[in-house]
Amino acid sequence: MPEEIPLRSARDQAALVRDREVSARELVEASLAAIERLDGALNAFVTLVPERALAEADAVSAGDSRPLAGVPIAIKDIIALTEGIRTTFGMRAVGDWTPPMDSAVVRRLREAGAIVVGKTNLPELGILPVTEPERFGPTRNPWDVERTPGGSSGGSAAAVAAGMVALAHGNDGAGSIRIPASCCGLVGLKPSRGRVSVAPIANDTIGLVSDGVLSRTVADTALSLDLLAGYELGDPFSAPVPASTFAAAAEREPGRLRIAYATEAPTGAPVDPECVTAVEETAELLESLGHEVEAAPLDLDAEAFTEHFSRVWISDIGGSVRTIASVLGGELDRDQLEPLTRQMTEIAESISATDLIASISYLRVASRGMLALWADHDVLVTPTLAQPPLELGALEPDEGAEPIDMLRKAGEFVPFTPPINVTGQPAISLPLHHCAAGLPIGVHLVGPHGGEELLLSLSAQLEAARAWAERRPSLDL
């Protein structure tokens, strides 16, 4: 029984506490035991707080009715501050800084009864779609330890896929929830811009980043969004108020929808046949469920989009380095930055305000063009990634290449997700396919702005038609 508990959904775990079948301490002990058994091989966690987690569990009364009462969770080690628990952003230069407060997302999860057992690994500053920071070393994919779990929320995804926790926080600025969800066979929703606050952290330049969770079920993702959604004082963005709870949306039929699908990358990057097959099979499944389905090309000037997105992305990284230094009370030691981070920071300092504003303007106008597809469709379906999970080290620059070339290689892996951060739409990766090698392949569903209810209803319908929660890695570690 104890080994099985972390494999139950977060909702089921909370129900066990509510029904007095299991104590919160037993939930946390089971999670900690799974971490001790598995994390030596996977390296999903960078900080653990077992004593604190057990003390918090002991304060949860039997029968506690809160939606996540006693449920062990993990928090990604960037943006989401954790009072009394170090936050490193995956950087050696930050040391062991410990914030004096929780971010809004952490506060909301704790208020719902969740118990933080630790912080999870990520690439330095969340830059890359793989999780291989110099400070903490690579996180490994539970489905194949020689491959990446994706990034930047790779530690969170590995922790959930391996059954160390049922729910883990992540954030997504260019795909960083959806990418690891695809690599690890999980559900990963990027909410609409403004749906979830990143307070007290300042938002990035144009609101690329959204916070959310990695989970094994649509129901857990919907419940989490109900808990996380909502305005905080000073937020520069907001999302439409939903008609009902997101949990309720995941329990009702979506109705007949107009669905477009595309298998060619908007940037022209080559797409692996397995990723194409995943979408084509999903399109057939959707049609069998009664939806109107048709192929529709994506309208994007790949060269211009890449140029302007890269300029904004690099500027935000440079700004983050400066902001972190300010919070820590001085300059960061740049010799302790990874080569890519250091180079991006130097490039950022050479970008003029005029050029940055021009790039922001370009992306906002480009968003209007991309969003035109939703005038005639409800949902777009694409591959989440252009390739199955990469081997560890695959994004290292070639000999003699500049560190910045890693971004180009990364773009070939993740051409489908960044445009949706620019438009601000909700998007979800669902584990609907496995390749011949047994690795998960995610399918990417994109809804209209503010359309999480629609996406969750459709995702739950697909989950019911092709259940995936019991399909887990063998974990012969």
Tens of pLDDT, residues 331-345: 899 999 999 999 999
Q: What is the pLDDT of residue 1?
A: 53
175 φψ region: left (φ > 0), alpha (ψ -120 to 50), beta (else): left
pLDDT tens column, 223-239:
999 999 999 999 999 99
- 470 occurs within a structural domain: no
Task: Identify the CA nearest to 155 among candidates 474, 146, 164.
Answer: 164
- Is 119 considered catalytic here? no
Record the pTM: 0.98
| Identified catalytic residue from 76, 156, 215, 315 | 76
Amino acid symbol at 29: E
For residue 52, count CB atoms less than 10 angstroms from its CB and return exposed for 0-12, middle for 13-18, buried for 19 or more.
middle
- Residue 35: the pLDDT is 98
- Relative orientation angle of helices 10-18 and 24-42, to the nearest 10 degrees: 150
Whether 476 is covered by a domain: the verdict is: no
Write down the catalytic residue from 9, 31, 103, 152. Answer: 152
Does some domain include residue 196? yes
Using alpha carbons, select from 440, 424, 351 the residue that is nearest to residue 388: 440
Parent domain of 338: 5-465
Q: Can you name the residues that pair with 258 across neighbouring β-strands? A: 292
From 9, 103, 153, 176, active-site residue: 176
CATH of residue 290:
3.90.1300.10
Does 477 map to a domain?
no
152 catalytically annotated: yes
Dihedrals φ, ψ of 313, to 5°?
A: -60, -45
Closest CA to 186 of 353, 474, 384: 384
> Considering its fold, how many domains does the chain have in total?
1
* Residue 2, pLDDT score: 67
The ranges of the chain with pLDDT < 50 are none
